[in-house]
Amino acid sequence: MNIAFRLLILLCGLASVTGSEFRAGAAAVNITPPIGTPLAGYYYERGAEGTHDELHAKALVIEQDGSKAAMVVCDLLTIPRGVIQEAREQITKSTGLKGENVMISATHTHTGPILGDGLARAASLGGDSDLVSAYTRKLPSLIAESVRLAEAKLAPSRTFAAIGREDGISHNRRYFMKTGTVSWNPGKLNTNIVRAAGPIDPDVGVIYFESAERTPSPQPSPPRGRGSGEGAAIYLNFAMHPDTAGGKEFSADYPYWLARGLSEYKGTNLLTIFANGTCGNINHVDVNWADPQKGQTESARLGTILAGAVMRAFPRLQPIQTSAPRVRSEIVKIPLPQVTPEDIENARSIAKRAQGAQSKEPAFLERVNAFKVLDVAAREGKPHELEVQVIALGDELAWVSLPGEIFVELGLAIKKASPFRYTMIAELANGAIGYIPNREAYPQGNYEVVSSRCAEGSGELLVEAALRLLRQAHRGQ
């Protein structure tokens, strides 16, 4: 083996500074529930009448120097903390991984099943039905199986990373209006809109894992064209609500079309793992475009455009020098919003009306606030205990978990201050407590703030924890 060839392998991340081998493995498990299972995502009940595309738990396992970690992404709206804990326990028993070294997140598809989480909103939409209860009990074993299969596929791999850009399909859905208020999804071509109330995150994080058994090319970048996906996996990170497909069929929404487009380019053996970024206030609706944007046709358009952004990033993929995965986590105590006895009494009345016990339907935000108040009251003053986790691979690449629908401003703050060149943020990871706005959004009000189960400043506490962990992992502490 000549010197140039050895240097190329080193650059491609096959070996760390100690010369040990980096390995990766990826696998998917079908997690599609039975037809008839209630669908999640909205404030009205709807049972699944079919399957447009199957839902999956997709796992990526990484290993070096005997240290292993994993990222699992599920085509679900959210994943309750209890399911995460049970899945981790089963992973510990059935694999060579420690459960605490696994990051488990949801894509936030609005055409996945409701899960039994014990909260008021889910219960009102069929969350305590036999179908949902049985599926929720089964889900941890399916997640654990995806990790077991991915671990079984561990093989020498090279790692590449790039940050692509796509700023034409995602939009901040909160707007300053001429009335001086902030509106949420104010409607297309609304002449009262002044401007968006916040930014988007146009970054398309691309992490590509390629089998090291393939003969390296003269350039240290992944090959192009069909058939090159053999032994490969790609982890993608982009911030935008998957709330496009609608209807009454199970679907992964636009991430399905994204994966399909990349498979057509890279080969059917490529496993695409999509983790949603901080998109609590980001969706696909272009208020300056009159055309409707709902259904699988729109999902396909969005997924195809995003696949194009990934393909445009391929020539810029850079090799990552790996080392043993470093995992850090912290439990952050998050304060509750204040609710009064009068709030609780009123919320109970509204919840009864929402369930049809009385003839007058509550207004949308009345219903949203009622479910929030009931969930907060049920905690009896006990703060949320939320996990923030970091998994670092070398000195350039790290994954961050955040347990809710996080406002984009908070994710951008983490990326800006992160010591890692490539920082992937998976929201709705390792648990979920609904919307977590940034501090500035609270006095502005409207849907996400009304819905939030945490007090003002909670998001900033998560940012501080994430940055602490990123710095510790970067220094190897």
pLDDT in tens, 387-415: 999 999 999 999 999 999 999 999 999 99
Burial class (CB in 10 A: 0-12, 13-18, 19+), 455: middle
The pair phi, psi for residue 211, each rounded to 5°, is -55, 130
Mean pLDDT of 297-302: 98
Q: What pLDDT, on a 0 to 100 scale, did the predictor assign at position 214?
A: 53
Residue 459 has a CB neighbour count (10 Å cut-off) of: 28
The pair phi, psi for residue 184, each rounded to 5°, is -120, 125
Reading the block at residue 9, the tokens are: 């392998």
Q: Are 57 and 74 in contact (CB under 8 A)?
A: yes
Mean pLDDT of 32-59: 95
Reading the block at residue 374, the tokens are: 């009931």
Q: Report the range of poorest mean pLDDT among 71-85, 106-120, 135-149.
A: 106-120
SS3 content of the chain, % helix, strand, coil (to 5): 35, 25, 40
Q: Which of 151, 71, 69 is nearest to 394 (CA)?
A: 69
At residue 254, what is the residue type? Y
Query: How does DSSP classify residue 65?
Result: T
pLDDT level of residue 359 (50, 70, 90 thresholds): low
Structure-model confidence comparison of residues 43 and 403, the more confident one: 403
pLDDT in tens, 224-242: 444 444 558 999 999 999 9
Q: Are 59 and 116 in contact (CB under 8 A)?
A: no
Q: Report the range of poorest mean pLDDT among 37-51, 140-154, 181-195, 445-459.
A: 37-51
Give dist(CA 361, CA 403) in Å, integer: 32
- Angle 447-169-298 from CA coordinates, rounded to 5°: 90
Helices 458-475 and 408-417, axial angle in degrees (round to 10): 30
- End-to-end alpha-carbon separation of the chain, Å? 36
- Angle 108-243-414 from CA coordinates, rounded to 5°: 50
Report CA-CA distances (Å) from 88 to 72, 81, 103, 108, 329: 11, 11, 9, 20, 14
Helices 296-313 and 254-266, axial angle in degrees (round to 10): 50
Q: Are 30 and 55 in contact (CB under 8 A)?
A: yes
Q: Is the pLDDT assigned to residue 6 strictly greater than 80?
A: no
Q: Is the pLDDT assigned to residue 328 strictly greater than 50?
A: yes
Q: What pLDDT, on a 0 to 100 scale, did the predictor assign at position 353?
A: 77
At residue 33, what is the residue type? P
3-state secondary structure 169-205: CCEECEEEECCCCEEECCCCCCCCEEEECCCCCCEEE
Reading the block at residue 102, the tokens are: 């696994």
Helix or strand run (H / E) with residue 146: helix 130-152
pLDDT in tens, 283-292: 999 999 999 9
Q: What pLDDT, on a 0 to 100 scale, did the predictor assign at position 222?
A: 47
Helix or strand run (H / E) with residue 331: strand 326-334
Report CA-CA distances (Å) from 423 to 124, 196, 467: 38, 26, 11
Report CA-CA distances (Å) from 19 to 15, 65, 223, 364: 5, 10, 24, 59
